[in-house]
Structure 1
Amino acid sequence: MEQGKDRSLVSKVMDGLVSGIVEEKYGAILPPQDVLSKEFDVSRTVMREALSMLLARDMLDVRPKVGTRIRSMRDWRMIDEDVVNWRFRAKPDPQFMRDVIEFRMLIEPRAAGQAASRASVSEVAAIREAFEVFKTLAPGDGGYQAADELLHTRIVHASGNQFFQQMAAIIRGALSATHPMLSQKPGAWEISVRTHERLVEAIERRDPKEAEAAALAVIDFAADEISREFSVEMPNRR
């Protein structure tokens, strides 16, 4: 029981440290452990465990006579779901958003094509079910973002590729980062529903090529808006 309490406390401290990091509260170097322990009102043992877990995720670096340095977000271990969620908390920058779109262009169309070929009957039904919920919600409605993320997650999982499946957290983070700007565009909801429906129908027809093209069309819409918002050149779509 006590062990579970300690783990929960460590997780809470980790979350607080990450919030401070992405909000640039600490600068480049974290305060000493005893100072942080007092700040979070925890023992040095708990603080040491929290810091060691961030070290393991390549978020921190300990250097003699320097202290605990905060590493560039580019170095963070993005395959870790916690790290993905933390990274997407930070204010997005043009290069990061370009990389997000590039990642989606590489993974999602291929995953959609494989879902069209490999998904079981129950997986295809689950994709359709997620879309039916998604299309009833508009940006700003409670549950809209969660419904969108669930739809994309189910498609990636239906690909049957274990590496793609583990990258679903990055895709969910990418969607959460782009939702605010897409929801403000007139006609965005109608376009989103239409492009997602094309994708779902291609998977239901077991048409891999059309599923890939449809998935790319979904991403293209987000890419165009990000390109305008951040004045950054998006990766080649073809």
Structure 2
Amino acid sequence: MDEHGNKDRSLVSKVMDGLVAGIVENRYGVILPPQDVLSREFDVSRTVMREALSMLLARHMLDVRPKIGTRIRPMRDWRMIDEDVVSWRFRAKPDKTFLRDVLEFRALIEPAACAQAAARAGAVEIAGIRDAFDALRETQPGEAGHQSADELLHARILAASGNQFFQQMAAIIRGALTLVNPILNRREGGWQDVVRAHARIVDAIERRQPQEAEAASIAMIAYTADELKRAFAPEPVEQR
């Protein structure tokens, strides 16, 4: 990149930092001033300001609405995890270390989310979790809608936890499910085991039993870990 391009990028970063400082300090209220006003405030071109605003838009910090302007979104909506980067990482062929890291991440997040969902979820959220589980149970691996039903179930549990950080981990959980489900489904009876594991979690959430929901989630992840170890175990050497 040439010197001019580096200068523009540095300016964009400085403007972003200044805009965020103004937002968190509540200097702008709910609606940002027009771009030309902001450009004069930061003493930059409208091109630089437009790029800085677009970067904040991409992070779900702003929302542009006709006849209203650029609205500042609630902080709970801000994207702390970049979903595109997560998606790209899961496209790569998995290795043992990556699978280990994925399972360790799930073990940190999902049991706690299940427990909090059991304690905090409203009736509508619990009904949504049950609907997603029913859709999952009624499909078979490889059928249309199967993977999306599984992802929806986990996403709804994360949302029902009420924890905004957990909610934004949905992209990583979706990637993990895409990665491990084909491995789990290879073994005969593997899919039935997965359904039973999910059923225990959903039942505990419906009965508002946080400890049971957490334990069921831990057991499901442990089962997944065992299956992955089996799948990646070296082939036994034949004795001659």
The question of a shared fold, defined as TM-score above 0.5 by the shorter chain, is answered with: yes
Q: Which residue of 1 aligns with 2:29?
A: none
CA deviation vs aligned residue, 1:41-90 (integer Å, no higher than 9, x gap): xxxxxxxx9xxx9xxx9xxxxxxxxxxxxxxxxxxxx9211111110000
Q: Which residue of 1 aligns with 2:84?
A: 82
Residue 185 of structure 1: which of 184, 187, 190 is its match? 187
Aligned partners of 1:231, 1:85: CA distance in 2, in Å? 27
Shift of residue 192, structure 1, vs aligned partner: 0.9
CA deviation vs aligned residue, 1:114-155 (integer Å, no higher than 9, x gap): 000000110000000000110001111111111111101100
Residue 172 of structure 1: which of 162, 166, 174 is its match? 174
Q: Which amino acid aligns with 2:190?
A: A
Written as runs of structure 1 = structure 2, the 5 A alignment for 1:218-237 is 218-231=220-233
Aligned partners of 1:196, 1:151: CA distance in 2, in Å? 9
Q: Which residue of 1 aligns with 2:93?
A: 91
Structure of higher CA gyration radius: 2
Aligned partners of 2:119, 2:196: CA distance in 1, in Å? 22
Q: Which residue of 1 aligns with 2:127?
A: 125
SS in 2 for 1:154: helix
Whether the aligned pair in 2 keeps the contact of 1:94 and 1:231 (CA below 8 Å) is no
Q: Which amino acid aligns with 2:106?
A: R
TM-score, with normalisation over the residues of structure 1? 0.64
Higher relative contact order (CA 8 A, sep 6+): 1
Shift of residue 231, structure 1, vs aligned partner: 4.0
Aligned partners of 1:189, 1:170: CA distance in 2, in Å? 22
User: How many residue pairs are counted as aligned between the two chains?
Assistant: 160
Written as runs of structure 1 = structure 2, the 5 A alignment for 1:1-238 is 79-231=81-233
Q: Which residue of 1 aligns with 2:44?
A: none
Aligned partners of 2:222, 2:145: CA distance in 1, in Å? 23
SS in 2 for 1:109: helix
Q: Which residue of 2 aligns with 1:10?
A: none
Aligned partners of 1:217, 1:211: CA distance in 2, in Å? 10
Aligned partners of 1:202, 1:96: CA distance in 2, in Å? 30
Aligned partners of 1:219, 1:157: CA distance in 2, in Å? 19
Q: Which amino acid aligns with 1:103?
A: F
Q: Which amino acid aligns with 2:199?
A: E
CA deviation vs aligned residue, 1:143-168 (integer Å, no higher than 9, x gap): 11111111011001100000000111
Aligned partners of 2:122, 2:139: CA distance in 1, in Å? 27
Aligned partners of 1:104, 1:148: CA distance in 2, in Å? 15
Whether the aligned pair in 2 keeps the contact of 1:111 and 1:156 (CA below 8 Å) is yes
Whether the aligned pair in 2 keeps the contact of 1:182 and 1:222 (CA below 8 Å) is yes
Q: Which amino acid aligns with 2:178?
A: S
Whether the aligned pair in 2 keeps the contact of 1:153 and 1:168 (CA below 8 Å) is yes
Aligned partners of 1:219, 1:166: CA distance in 2, in Å? 20
Shift of residue 229, structure 1, vs aligned partner: 2.3
Q: Which amino acid aligns with 2:154?
A: H
SS in 2 for 1:88: helix
Aligned partners of 1:115, 1:231: CA distance in 2, in Å? 35
Q: Which residue of 2 aligns with 1:40?
A: none
SS in 2 for 1:171: helix
**Aligned residues with identical type, % of pairs:** 62
After the TM superposition, which parts of structure 1 deviate over 4 Å for at least 4 consecutive aligned residues?
A: none
